[in-house]
Amino acid sequence: MLKFQPSYAIHDVVSIKLSNGDEIIAKCVAVDDKAITVTRPLLMILSQDPATGRPAISMAPFWMLGAEPTARYTINHDQTICILKSNTESTKGYITQTTGLAMPTGSGLIT
C-alpha cells in the first residue's frame, strides 16, 4: 500500500495543478490523505510583460470573488494532478500579491 507523503508542509505556499487544467498558488493550512485545505488561492496565468514582450506569470483572484480573503478552501486530491511546494520566485510574488509586502531581492542588511 502506498503511503501519502507530501513534499510540502502546513504554512508552505504551494502550487496546485487542478484536473480541469487550472494552476493555482495558495497557502496550505491543512493536508491529509484525502484533501488539502488552502487559503488565499490565486489563479496563475501565463501572460506577456508589456515592457519587454516576454512571457510572464500573472496572478488573479480564484474561486469566489465575494468571499472573505482568508476563507479556507478544501480541495479533494482526486481533483488535483499535482501539488508541489512553490519555488522562491513564485512564493515572493504570491506574498507580495496577498499581503502587499515587497519581498527583498538581495541578501544582507539594508544600509
pLDDT in tens, 67-85: 887 899 999 999 999 999 9
What's the pLDDT score for residue 1? 47
Is it the case that residue 18 has pLDDT exceeding 70? yes
What's the pLDDT score for residue 108? 59
**Geometric angle at alpha carbon 84, from 81 and 85, rounded to 5°:** 160
Query: What pTM was estimated for this model as a whole?
Result: 0.83
Q: Judge whether 59 and 97 are in contact, CB under 8 Å.
A: yes
What's the pLDDT score for residue 57? 87
Residue range 83-106, pLDDT digits in tens: 999 999 999 999 999 988 776 666
Is it the case that residue 17 has pLDDT exceeding 90? yes
Cell of 65: 470573488
More confident residue, 69 or 60: 60
Lowest mean pLDDT among 2-11, 14-23, 42-51: 2-11
**Geometric angle at alpha carbon 15, from 46 and 68, rounded to 5°:** 90
Q: Judge whether 41 and 18 are in contact, CB under 8 Å.
A: no
The Cα 25–Cα 91 span in angstroms is 8
